[in-house]
Structure 1
């Protein structure tokens, strides 16, 4: 029954994550609820080991239907991985606790801006070209990648928001690019968790299959309904993140 529950949670997480990110809102609480005595690092590693496969398949599915700017995003993805390693190293030296109470307010600002700017992300009009676009994407990659390694909650949403707001992508193209960036930062964290032995592979394998299935369904929904649908899902996920991070910071 426990395996069935976390496998279903993994499928649902893959569905949400494929559209706009935020699958960790579903899968991580499920793992902590079912295995309350589990070592947190092991539960985090098991979560990554499942979600990284769904993100991989989502990136592949998107790249077949939506043009991925590979020459821009591959260097940005490499820097996201480097940033994630650096953030993971720093968290072994400095506590990220100060971010816990700040994060809900940052997410609230992101949500408020998205709601006010109703046309934001509806049209794909890249603001930069050539080296300027590469520099902007790499800055997003290394910055949010570092945050992912150091703290983590809302990483996918931050990738999407900055690609929309700063680079001028629409929500669908931003979600496509964010998958590649998030995959790189997740892979870096997974390598560290694996080397430290913090993965339950007997759970990770069935959860990975379920995550991929959910991811494929979510990708199809996003491609079918376009940027408007992804924007609505973005608002829903960020709202849920605000509730979850506020609870963790002030009420728990």
Structure 2
């Protein structure tokens, strides 16, 4: 069996292992899938009427909620990666001749799966709440592609954070900025309605062009500038996370 097929087989095994851990942990399921829906209902049904965005609030907020659902599933990944690193699980895998890269890709894949499940749930609830997109089939394909790209970028960055942290608690806390970033973007109100300082931060942070690209795609009118910035941010974050994760893993494992 070739090294590539062996690494792929080991990655699938690691994915299955991590999926079982996720399903058996109600807190992980709640944080990754259910809590974003709770936030969605709160913003749309409780706070949405106070925001003037020029359209139905559910249509405006759904793209930001898709991004938020990705960020909410990251804390458990950082904690799980750190647990594997600090509790000797990695050394046990090494003794079993498991591909070292499979340990990382297993966490990346399971995080991506959790995030995609959360986004499917967000879209389903959004339709139930009156979401009315104008996106074509091609636009929906663009939405899926950008969400997948974002999940893998965020997953690699989170795996790197989990590997670098000294304890599981600090690993979880280190993902808080990623969880908070959607709230400091154009996810829930337009950036140009914010005060000085907050407006500039919202305009130039990575999640805003991603959200605006998703918003344009769902309206059937994507913006080329936002799309290029969104893809660039995702690719850049993925590369940073991958290089950081691999370097830290080689150093500590």
TM-score of the two chains, using structure 2 as the length reference: 0.35
With a CA cutoff of 8 Å and minimum separation of 6, indicate the structure with the bigger relative contact order. 1
TM-score of the two chains, using structure 1 as the length reference: 0.35
